[in-house]
Amino acid sequence: LRHRDGSKRACEVHATNLRDDPAWEGIVLNIWDLSERKALEERLRHQAFHDALTDLPNRALILDRAEIMLARARRGSGTVAALFVDLDGFKHVNDTLGHAAGDRLLETVAGRLQSVVRAQDTVGRLGGDEFVLLLDPDPSNIPPDLIAQRVLDVLHQPVDLPESGRTVSVSASIGLAIGRQGSVDELLRDADFALYEAKRQGRASYVLFEASMQIEAQDRLALEEELQRAVGLEQFFLLYQPTFDLYTNRVTGVEALIRWQHPARGVLAPDAFIPIAEQTRLIVPIGRWVLQEACRQAAAWDEAGHPVGMSVNISAHQLAQDGLQEDVERVLAQSGLDPATLTLEITETALMLDIDAATVRLKALKALGVRIAIDDFGTGHSSLAYLRKFPVDTLKIDRSFISGIASSDAAAAIISTLVALGKTLNIETLAEGIEQPAQLEKLQQEHCGQGQGFLFARPLDVPGIEDFLEAVDTRSAPTAAIR
C-alpha cells in the first residue's frame, strides 16, 4: 500500500466476510503495517552474513559466493582466485594504540581492499586481521598476482588514526590459490597454506600455493600431534654444556639443552621442534619440565659435592605467560636449590618483542634471587638504552660473531665493543660457540670473561658432566666448579 508520505508499505490484510451479519452487512478488512518487521528481518539477514565492523561479507557469505564462482568457472573457461590477506603487526597497533585505533585501521583496510577489485569480485573478512578476496572467473579480469601486488601497494600507504593522533603504515602477507575443479574448502585451505608460507618467508609479500606446501603442512601437523603426546609421555631429556672462565679454565656453570627422544625419528635437536612448540604453546609445559628437571639435577650435583651453576633457556612465550614467576618459585622450593645457582637465559629477540612487559617480568624474576642472561646477544635489535633498564647479569655473545673473530677485524672490533659495554654496565660477557684455539686466544686478548663451545666441551649427558666435573676438580683448586 502507498503511505500518504509517498512511501510503499508492506502490509498484512485479513478479510472477514460479515455480509450475513445484520450489524455489519459487509466485508471487514484488518490491515497491519509490517514495514518495521520486514526492515528488522532484512537487517538481521544482513547481519548474519556480514561483519559488524567493516560490513564486509563474513565467512558464511564468502563460502556461498565462492561456491557460486566455482560453479560459474566450471561452466565457462575461467578459474577462481582466492587471496588470504593477513595484516603484519596488527596486534601491535591494537595493543599500543588501543582498540578504537585498531578498529579504524581495519575499516580503512576494508575500504582499500574494495578499491582494488571490481564489483563482481568479493572482499570479505574472516575475523581478526584476516581478509579474503575472491576474484571472479571472468577471463577479462586482471591476473591475480597483479591484484596481490596492488593489495600490498594500497595497504602500504600510511593510515591516519585520529583516535590516537598517530599515522601508521601496515604491511600484509598474502596467500594466493587458484581453483576450478576442487571444492571451496580446498581452494580456501590452499590459500591458507600459501599464507602460512608467505608469513614464514618474512612479511610483506605474496606467495602462490604449491602442492609441496600441503605436504609440509601435513608433516608439521603430524609433528605437532607427536609433540603433544611427547609432553604426556615425557620423551624429553636434557644434555648439559659447561661454560668456562677463559683465564682459569674453571667451569663456571652448565647450560641445560633439551633433546626429544622421538619414537621413530631418533633424537631430535631443539631446532626441529622448539619453533613448533612455541607456535602451539606446548613450550609452556615443556619449558616447565625443563626448569624442573634442570633444578632437580643441579640440586643433586650440589648434594654430591659438585656445586655448579645451572642455566635454563626460557622462550619468548614462556616469558610472556603469566605463570613463569610462580613456576620458577615453585621449582626452586621443591628442589631446595639456592636461587643464585640458577640463571635464566632469554634471547635478545624475545626481550625486544615487548620491552616494557619484559622489563617488568625480568625485575620480578630477579627479585626471586636468580640470575638473568641475554642469549644470542647481537642478533636482535637492542637499544643500549633498554639494556641499561634490564636487570641483566650476563651477555651471551652470539656464535656468529665468534666464528669470524680470528679472521675478521670487524668481528673482533664488535667483540671488543661488547666486552667494553659489559664492563661499563657491570654485566659479564660470555662468548658462545668457541670452536678453535685461535678464537679463544683472540677472546682472551679482548678480555672476554667466559666462554662456551665445542673447543671445551660439547653438550654432555649426566655421567659425561660428572666425569668432567671430577676431572676439572682434580685439575684445579677444590673450590672449582662454583658458579
Contacting positions for ligand C2E (CB under 6 A): 241, 257-258, 269-271, 274, 287, 290, 313, 315, 345, 375-376, 432-435, 452-454, 459
Q: Give least dist CB 54 to ligand C2E, A.
A: 38
The listed partner (ligand C2E, Mg ion, none) that binds 274, CB under 5 to 8 Å by sort, is ligand C2E
- Find, among 31, 62, 61, the residue nearest to 48 by Cα: 61
The listed partner (Mg ion, ligand C2E, none) that binds 378, CB under 5 to 8 Å by sort, is none
Cell of 34: 509490517
The listed partner (Mg ion, ligand C2E, none) that binds 247, CB under 5 to 8 Å by sort, is none
* Of 86, 226, 376, 428, the one binding Mg ion by CB under 5 A: 376
Q: Give least dist CB 383 to Mg ion, A.
A: 20
Q: Give least dist CB 437 to Mg ion, A.
A: 21
Applying the rule CB under 5 A, the residues between 414 and 433 that interact with Mg ion are: 432
* Of 345, 348, 428, 446, the one binding Mg ion by CB under 5 A: 345
Please name the helix (run of DSSP H) or strand (run of DSSP E) that holds residue 335, with its range, or none.
helix 324-335
d(CA 142, CA 155): 18
Binding segment toward Mg ion, per CB under 5 A, in 101-109, 286-294, 296-304, 312-320: 312-320
- Number of Cβ within a 10 Å radius of residue 475: 10
Binding segment toward Mg ion, per CB under 5 A, in 83-91, 374-382, 413-421, 450-458: 374-382
Binding segment toward Mg ion, per CB under 5 A, in 193-201, 295-303, 343-351, 439-447: 343-351
Q: Give least dist CB 352 to Mg ion, A.
A: 15
Residues 411, 401: contact at Cβ < 8 Å? yes
Instruction: Return the amino acid letter for 351.
Output: L
Nearer Cβ to ligand C2E (58/313): 313
The residues near 93 (Cβ < 8 Å, ≥ 6 apart) are 101, 102, 105, 161, 168, 170
Residue 123, φ and ψ in degrees, nearest 5: -115, 125
- Find, among 148, 117, 137, 114, the residue nearest to 65 by Cα: 137
Q: Give least dist CB 431 to Mg ion, A.
A: 10
The DSSP call for residue 340 is G
Sign of the torsion angle spanned by Cα atoms 221, 222, 225, 231: negative
3-class DSSP assignment, residue 122? strand
The listed partner (ligand C2E, Mg ion, none) that binds 253, CB under 5 to 8 Å by sort, is none
